Amino acid sequence: METPAHAEHILSLHELVTSSSDITGILRGVTGFASTAMTRVAGAPIDCALTLRRRKRTATIAGSSEKAVLLDNIEQKLGQGPCLDALNAGHPMLLADVATDVEWPEYSRVLAENGCRSALGVPMDLGESSEAVLNFFAPEAGLFTSEVIDEAAAFADVAGSTLRLAIRIETVEQLNRDLKTAMASRTVIDLACGVIMAQNRCTQDEAFKTLNNASSHRNEKVHAVASSIVANLSGTTRTSAYFED
């Protein structure tokens, strides 16, 4: 059943997607909302970091504070902690008290040195190509009660759907940019082939073969050779592919 708090999360997170210009800004906004929500439930300051991993990309880490990002980065480097184990387990993992923890001793020591007494890792469902986890940090032990953990899991569920949408939008925009780049490159090559066809009275296939041979001979990419041919003729290296978004 959707609570007023969950409805508020949904509205805030979807507004975040429409107002942010990149995925990093969205991640930073998500951690800010998460920190505020958990602080309200726990009754004490809760910091939050978010780690996003996508296929063929380096991990992206954002946080509600510099300390949260630092602690998350350290966990990644150590290869141990509730955040990493939550990703593998598929459910929240609690580091209840750094003073008594034996499961992640090195990480507990780092947390204690930074004034953090407990931590909670909560995974987010992003589908097969991506994975993400929220890492919450508390200055005291005992703040991550069952109520707080349930609220963190509910927030992660809502934020996960928002993040999936943001990733899809970014993917489409990247494909659009790649397509425009490819079309612009193709335009230069076609123009260069036209020049060669006019100068040598040959077919388009023969012109492209000449261009490709020149590319091999000069040890340059076909696009670079084509650009130089067009520049020699027009006096500029700038060409445009005309299409609408």
pLDDT in tens, the chain (245 residues): 444 455 455 555 556 555 555 778 888 888 998 999 999 999 999 999 999 887 766 677 899 999 999 999 999 999 999 999 998 899 999 999 999 999 999 999 999 999 999 999 999 888 777 888 999 999 999 999 999 999 999 989 888 877 877 776 665 555 555 556 666 667 788 888 888 888 888 888 888 898 888 888 888 888 788 888 888 876 655 554 444 44
For residue 207, give the CATH number of its domain. Answer: 1.10.10.10
DSSP secondary structure, the chain, as one string: ---HHHHHHHHHHHHHHHH-SSHHHHHHHHHHHHHHHHHHHHTS--EEEEEEEETTS--EEEESSHHHHHHHHHHHHHT-SHHHHHHHHTS-EEE--TTT--SSHHHHHHHHHTT--EEEEEEE---SSEEEEEEEEESSTT---HHHHHHHHHHHHHHHHHHHHHHHHHHHHHHHHHHHHHHHHHHHHHHHHHHHHHHHT--HHHHHHHHHHHHHHHT--HHHHHHHHHHHHHS-S--------
Q: How many domains does the chain have?
A: 2
Which of 173, 190, 211 corresponds to the end of one domain?
173
**Both 131 and 222 in a single domain?**
no
Which of 127, 156, 173 corresponds to the end of one domain?
173
Note down the domain range covering 101. Answer: 4-173
